[in-house]
Chains A and B, each alone.
Chain A
């Protein structure tokens, strides 16, 4: 493809014909791309399109099956992060590679001084880090322990790590996935300064508006291959979406809800901290026929809220009530008996047991019931029939109901969880990050099923870090910050920016509940 923009700029990076297979899956299929000095190239694609694999090959975490990489005209040895670093490539991984119980400074200097020096030169490092931080707007306390930093600060440390090593090419893998809208703006400002100083940036994302905002050129990946390359001035969000999905995106409009009575309520709930903040005086009502969306930056108490509702985390104060009846005891078994359907946040860790079969997994919530067991003996025929029923009804692609769940793709695993959770028409549905890591088709499917459940009269709590998803599905939106809930707002009542301000923790009063009126 001929390059029209900036022929005078020097090409700093050239990938040619990169191919990588994982078993039967072709993650990268003969991908080629170039990057020029001072350019931001966005690598756009759905989850699973091969973006991260490609960058991991570039950085030497994986070795490509075929293809060549050249940095400033010199070939880059494959499979060696050290060589990539030496060539001036810095990578900010989606999952940060930081040692939590060590200082910012130690994380940054790790591997930059000769290993067997008798003494680490912290003073010189400190000076250099402070200068870089000042120059590029990456304020962070070099003495602080990583575990005490916010996600945004950790990302700054990752960028500083790359800059400290004089990176000339910076790769950012989904950098905005964990940031508030305001932190995103700060990141984009930093990127502008870096590019002005002659760095080149590869920006991986699946969010169209970000790509349009920061990049000079977009390379779209679809199913492991390059679907197209566009200069940003010659394309539009629609055009990119089309390239990304391979078809027009039909965004379903969600019909307005008709809320019924309160089915589930939490009053003044408090818990210990749990995977981040605990609940800090949370009151919440879920009504029949309504989807309540819970937005927030991860670690602000969403995990505690989900665990408290599911019955795995005891409340230290406050009450849970079902249909107005206060529950004296609340446990996962009680939750199931009261027809609570759960879609856990992490389908691998808590949703499914990878080494057990589809059948065993789908009856894991109901194996005690008369339907699947008599006198303590399992009725495998009934269980298998149930598994086949879910496989058919939810279009799960798997070899058979005896297949181990580990072998299923993320989307199919999620459909299985959805089938298990929605079986028997639960009254209350707890959906934590129900579409994380799924491709667009699977996302639409999960959304459709949730809206169907709502229309049947279920009360749904949707917990998600994806604001677009929250805004698309929720009849009411609540923001969570440091274990507190904001006042709810009706669909469309708050802009994404307003939500972002709440997500950053502004606008909450002292008593926990939010003060701003929606």
Chain B
């Protein structure tokens, strides 16, 4: 019974939303890339780079929003590299993606050592603080869960709305979706396939990097090695789970985060009788199960991972 009561507490849902925030950014980023036909496996590394870039900017004395901007620009830069290699040059998206992850991660650790050679424990910054939204935060359970979060969490939810609007309501979104479905349709309408794809990968990578920065600037206040800890890979699964739709992907991200928040509380509840690793596994097992149930019949973007070469015979 106690295990069920957890689900009714505001603190549980507040934690779930907090855990979901970086996943939401990352998932929206990956979703944009894949909708344009590019699988971006650089996500894990791009998030690492974003986490470091944002945090270090603030450590240097700039304000938090400047940190977010720098993180986004860092992500966009890696996105540009990924895009140029996979789109006009048509190299394998798998290999380039994994390469970008390794490169961005190692480059980040190297830069950290270079810039902070003396420190033994990483310095802390003044991170984003929770911002209660007057009125809304007083709603029972829902209020503290949704409306006493940090500004970056609100931004995560806003990003879902923006991505959905752009994809379905703007000319640019139509071009992005079309380029992921059939690049020759875009070419035949006089739009550059490369420009749309590279643009989408850059925008998506910027969002991924902000997702990384959430960890160092909102969830925690410092940068640690390995802190992304597979969140990028989860985002890739969440895109599939959400059938490449922003709204469904958002639900997936919250669901996963809820599992994660729940297992931490269950660990405390059972008091060590069951090894804690069993609970750690739980969100991943449930994700795989959900993926099997939900994602078997999804209609994926037809041109996903298919390079486009102009004038090819």
Contact = CB atoms under 8 A, between A and B. Distances in A.
Q: Do A and B come from one complex?
A: yes
B1 to A, nearest CB: 46
A101 B189 contact: no
Given A63-B311, A93-B188, A111-B190, A102 B172 contact: no
Nearest to B311: A62
A314 B175 CA distance: 40
Contacts of B175: 110-111, 115
A468 interface: no
A113 B171 contact: yes
Given A99-B177, A99-B178, A101-B302, A109 B311 contact: no
Contacts of B186: 110-111
A119 B181 contact: no
B299 A101 contact: yes
Contacts of A114: 171
Contact of B174 (A63, A102, A161): A102
A86 B190 contact: yes
B178 A102 contact: yes
Interface string A75-116: 000001110111000010101011111100011011111111
Given A22-B313, A61-B310, A62-B311, A117 B187 contact: no
A86 B187 CA distance: 14
Contacts of A106: 174, 177-178
9 contacts: A85-B190, A97-B187, A99-B177, A100-B302, A106-B174, A110-B186, A111-B171, A120-B170, A161-B189
Interface string B275-307: 000000000000000000000000101100000
A159 B188 CA distance: 13
Given A99-B178, A106-B178, A107-B178, A119 B185 contact: no
B189 A110 contact: yes
B170 A118 contact: yes
Contact of A102 (B177, B311, B313): B177
Interface string A111-137: 111111111100000000000000000
Contacts of B173: 120
B171 A102 contact: no
Interface of B: 169-175, 177-178, 181-182, 184-191, 299, 301-302, 310-311, 313
Contacts of A111: 171, 175, 186, 189-191
Given A61-B311, A97-B188, A110 B170 contact: no
A276 B187 CA distance: 27
B181 A100 contact: yes
Main secondary structure of the interface of B (DSSP, over half): helix
Nearest to A93: B188
Contacts of B178: 99, 102, 106-107, 110
Nearest to B188: A97
Given A99-B177, A102-B174, A113-B171, A81 B187 contact: yes
A109 B188 contact: no
Interface residues of A, number: 36
A272 to B, nearest CB: 13
B261 to A, nearest CB: 35
A98 B185 contact: yes
A347 to B, nearest CB: 16
A115 B178 CA distance: 13
Contacts of B172: 115-117
Given A22-B313, A117-B171, A102 B181 contact: yes
A32 B193 CA distance: 31
Contacts of A84: 190
B168 to A, nearest CB: 8
A7 B311 CA distance: 36
Nearest to A86: B190
Contacts of A86: 190
Nearest to B195: A115
Contacts of B181: 99-102
A20 to B, nearest CB: 10
B169 A119 contact: yes
Given A81-B190, A99-B177, A102-B177, A107 B185 contact: yes
A239 B172 CA distance: 51
B189 A112 contact: yes
State the 5 A-B residue pairs at the shortest beta-carbon distance, nearest first: A111-B189, A99-B181, A82-B190, A97-B188, A97-B185
B182 A100 contact: yes
A369 B204 CA distance: 54
A62 B187 CA distance: 12
Given A81-B189, A110-B171, 20 more contacts: A56-B311, A61-B311, A62-B311, A82-B190, A85-B189, A91-B188, A95-B184, A98-B182, A99-B177, A99-B185, A101-B301, A102-B177, A111-B191, A112-B171, A113-B171, A115-B172, A115-B191, A117-B172, A118-B170, A120-B169
A56 B184 CA distance: 12
A340 to B, nearest CB: 33
A119 B189 contact: no
A51 to B, nearest CB: 14
B118 to A, nearest CB: 46
B35 to A, nearest CB: 11
Given A99-B181, A100-B302, A109 B174 contact: yes
Nearest to A95: B184
Contacts of B171: 109-117, 120
B169 A110 contact: no
A349 to B, nearest CB: 15
A26 B41 CA distance: 42
Given A101-B299, A101-B302, A110 B191 contact: yes
Contacts of A100: 181-182, 302
